[in-house]
Structure formats: structure tokens, C-alpha cells
Amino acid sequence: MTHRPATAPLPFPTPRSIAEPPRGRVAVFAPHPDDEVVGPGGAIAIHRTLGDPVRALVVTDGRAGDPSRAADPAAYVETRRRESRAAAERIGGVDLTFWDYPDNCVITESDLAGATERAIEWLKLDRPDVVYQPWIGESHADHAAVAEIARRALDAVGFRGPRLGYEVWNPGPADLVLDITRVAERKRAALLCFASQLEHTAFDHFILGLNAQRALFAPKGARFAEAFTTCG
């Protein structure tokens, strides 16, 4: 028998595969108008197929999504909201709340505290049973900030249900994998609603590629899966 050297790093545990997400009222924290689909879009589609109501909080207005800065900022914000609304319909129907924070800015402790208070009130409107949020290790500062806002707000309201951290910019140390093969084309159709972003970044290619890789941990025959890191 070959022994692992004492100094060798331990591998991440194999994530547990689930056929359905945890059931109930769903709340999604999305840093930008598209992350609600890019991250947990397949899970949302399954929730809606099963009849679970889904609300998504889009924290920033997405105006920094135009790298050329050629578009009128106010018109661009409305374009991104329109795309999110169209994607919400494609994914099965999501109740969207849009906030007005600018994206890609320096985030202060005061910003976090103010946003947390707003998030607490949003959660109290219809207390969720299941929450999706960015996982805390995301490299994008907006994603990391929203993960922290979600953590603080959920702690403040005494949330005890599943908190599932989704992936966008960085694969996480996932402990759950959800087979989304049956709704993958619905997720693709929703991703294609974000034309303003696809002009610069092929999210449909990159994210579905990540979902294809994550299917390695799903049952044989699965082609797409979303991976989540349990938060809280």
C-alpha cells in the first residue's frame, strides 16, 4: 500500500449528487443583472418546474457591463433590466427586485452595512426556505460583497435553511452537485437573453462548459450540473 506523505495536501471531498434542489420558497442574491441565471439558473428552472416560488434580488444596476462606455448609462441600466426580465420568463418565472447600486466600485464598510439593512427588509417580505448566493471565494469584488451582505442579512433574520453558494467566476470547493441536464436548454435560452453581455463575453459557452465539467460528479448519463458550496 502506498502511503500519502504527511505533507501532501488533502483532496477536496467528492461533492454529493442530488436529483432535486431543497424545496420551498426560494431567494436568490445576484450581484449583477444576469448572475441569477449564470450561477443557479438550472436550479431555478427546476424549482419553477416543481412549483416553488422564486424571488431574486439584483444588487447592482450593471452599468459597468459596457466596457466601451459608449452607451448612455441610464439607457444601459434599463437594457440590462429588460434582459433580466426576459431571462426570468425563459427560466420559468422569477420575481425580480432591482436595486440601484453601481457596480465595479470600491465597497466600504458603510456600503455593506447599508445594503445589509435593505437585504434584511427584503428577506422579511416573504421569508425564504432556500437561499442561493455567490460563494464567498468569488474573485469579483461585487460577488464577494454580495456574499457578505447575504451572510449578514440571513444571520440577522435567523435564517436556518440551506444557503447554497453558486459559482460564476471561480469554481468553488463544492459539496453539492445538482443534475440540470433536463433544464440545460432552458438555461441556455435564458443566457441568450443577455445580448448586451454576450457581445463582450461568451457566458453561454463558458458557463455551460463549467456545468458540463461539474456533471462528472453527477450520475452517469448527466451532461450538465450546477455545483454549490454550502454557506453559513
pLDDT digits (tens, 9 = 90+) for 211-220: 999 999 999 9
Q: Is the pLDDT of residue 194 over 90?
A: yes
Tell me the CATH number for domain 16-99+108-230: 3.40.50.10320
Separation CA 213–CA 222 (nearest Å) = 10
Separation CA 190–CA 192 (nearest Å) = 5
In this predicted model, what pLDDT tens digit does every residue of 65-91 receive, in sequence order? 666 676 787 888 999 999 999 999 999
Q: Is the pLDDT of residue 3 over 60?
A: no
Q: Is 221 left (phi over 0), alpha (psi -120 to 50) or beta?
A: left
In this predicted model, what pLDDT tens digit does every residue of 140-151 receive, in sequence order? 899 999 999 999
pLDDT value at residue 214: 97
Cell 483532496 belongs to 11
Beta strands across the sheet bearing 54-60:
16-18, 176-179, 225-230, 163-166, 130-134, 26-30, 54-60, 95-101
Q: Is the pLDDT of residue 132 over 60?
A: yes
Find the mean pLDDT for residues 179-200: 96
Q: Is the pLDDT of residue 1 over 50?
A: no
Q: Is the pLDDT of residue 59 over 90?
A: yes
Q: Is the pLDDT of residue 205 over 90?
A: yes
Find the mean pLDDT for residues 24-53: 97
Please give the residue that has the higher pLDDT: either 136 or 37: 37
In this predicted model, what pLDDT tens digit does every residue of 147-170 receive, in sequence order? 999 999 999 999 999 999 999 998
pLDDT value at residue 32: 95
- Residue ranges of the domains in the chain? 16-99+108-230
In this predicted model, what pLDDT tens digit does every residue of 109-123 receive, in sequence order? 998 999 999 999 999
**Average pLDDT of the chain, as a whole number:** 92
